[in-house]
Amino acid sequence: MPQTTPLRFYYDNMLGSTAGTLSATSTSATATFSIDNIHNFLEVNRWQASSSATQNIDFDAGVGNTVQADYLCILGHNLNSAGASLAVQVSTSGAFAGEQTTVSTSTPNADTVHLVEFTNPSTAGFRYWRIPITGQTTAPSLAIVALGLKTTIAFIQPPFDPYADFTNANVSLTEGGFVSGLHVKSIERQIDINLPNSSTSVYNTVKTWHDTHGFKNFFMNWNSTVNPEDTFLVRPSVGFNNSINVDKFRNISFSLRGRREVAST
- Indicate whether 8 pLDDT > 90: yes
Q: Are 81 and 112 in contact (CB under 8 A)?
A: no
pLDDT of residue 173: 87
Confidence of residue 159 (pLDDT cuts 50, 70, 90): confident
Domains of the chain: residue spans and CATH: 8-150 (2.60.120.260), 165-259 (3.30.200)
Interval 117-152: pLDDT, tens? 999 999 999 999 999 999 999 999 999 999 999 999
CA atoms lying within 13 Å on the CB side of residue 215 = 6
pLDDT of residue 3: 83
d(CA 232, CA 242): 23
Whole-structure pTM value? 0.92
Q: Where are the alpha helices (DSSP H) in the chain?
A: 200-213
Q: What percent of the chain has pLDDT over 90?
A: 77
Angle, CA of 260, 264 and 265, to the nearest 5°:
135
Q: Are 57 and 22 in contact (CB under 8 A)?
A: yes
pLDDT of residue 210: 94
d(CA 198, CA 259): 29
Count other Cβ atoms within 10 Å, centred on residue 203: 18
Provide the strand spans (E) within 118-249: 128-134, 141-142, 144-148, 151-152, 165-173, 179-198, 218-221, 231-236
Interval 56-91: pLDDT, tens? 999 999 999 999 999 999 999 999 999 999 999 999
> Minimal CA–CA distance to 84: which of 37, 138, 143, 134?
134
> Minimal CA–CA distance to 101: which of 114, 110, 91, 111?
91
Count other Cβ atoms within 10 Å, centred on residue 97: 8
- Indicate whether 265 pLDDT > 50: no
Cα radius of gyration (the chain): 20
